[in-house]
């Protein structure tokens, strides 16, 4: 369920958001990242994802987010749970007035066919090898954290 702007602003200002991030790997072992158009993390390359809505199951959210972010509805059962992460940003979608806190459920999935990539949240998409992703300054530190597990 989409919230009106004032309600969403109040929630972001006072509570953590729960979201799903998608670590999408293609047949060449490259990871999908998109350049974010909106804060937080505006201008950085980041993995696709989205927040879970109230009264939406994780499975329902996963299917909705994969459709919105990748242009293809995918079941969570076809992905591997990658872990729980926390992301803390000094800004929010509403500017610098308050911070944003995400509790993120990360899932890794492999795709073998091309994706439409229709999302309006990103200005461009790139498929990067993990080494390249880790070495680029324009990939957000939180996106890099998914590939530094156990280091």
Secondary structure letter of residue 60 according to DSSP: H
The owner of tokens 């799903």 is 20
- Annotated ligand binding at 43? The verdict is no
Spell out the residues 6+ positions from residue 10 whose beta carbon is closer than 8 angstroms to its own: none
Q: Which of 71, 58, 69 is nearest to 36 (CA)?
A: 69
- Annotated ligand binding at 49? The verdict is yes
Instruction: Give the whole-angstrom CA distance, residue 66 versus residue 70.
Output: 5
For the chain, how big is the Rg over CA atoms in Å? 15
- Annotated ligand binding at 50? The verdict is no
H-run or E-run covering 83? strand 80-89
Binding site feature residues: 49, 69, 121
Binding site feature residues for Mg(2+): 49, 69, 121
């Amino acid at each position: 369920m989409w919230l009106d702007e004032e309600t969403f602003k109040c929630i972001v200002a006072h509570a953590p958001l729960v979201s799903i991030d998608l670590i999408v790997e293609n047949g060449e072992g490259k990871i999908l990242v998109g350049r974010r158009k909106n804060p937080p993390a505006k201008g950085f390359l980041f993995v696709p994802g989205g927040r879970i809505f109230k009264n939406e199951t994780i499975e329902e959210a996963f299917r909705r987010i994969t459709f919105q972010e990748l242009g293809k509805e995918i079941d969570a059962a076809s992905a591997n749970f990658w872990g729980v992460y926390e992301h803390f940003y000094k800004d929010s979608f509403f500017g610098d007035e308050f911070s944003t806190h995400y509790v993120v459920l990360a899932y890794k999935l492999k795709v073998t066919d091309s994706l439409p990539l229709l999302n309006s949240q990103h200005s461009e998409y790139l498929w990067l090898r993990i080494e390249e992703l880790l070495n680029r300054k324009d990939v957000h530190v939180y996106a890099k954290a998914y590939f530094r597990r156990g280091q």
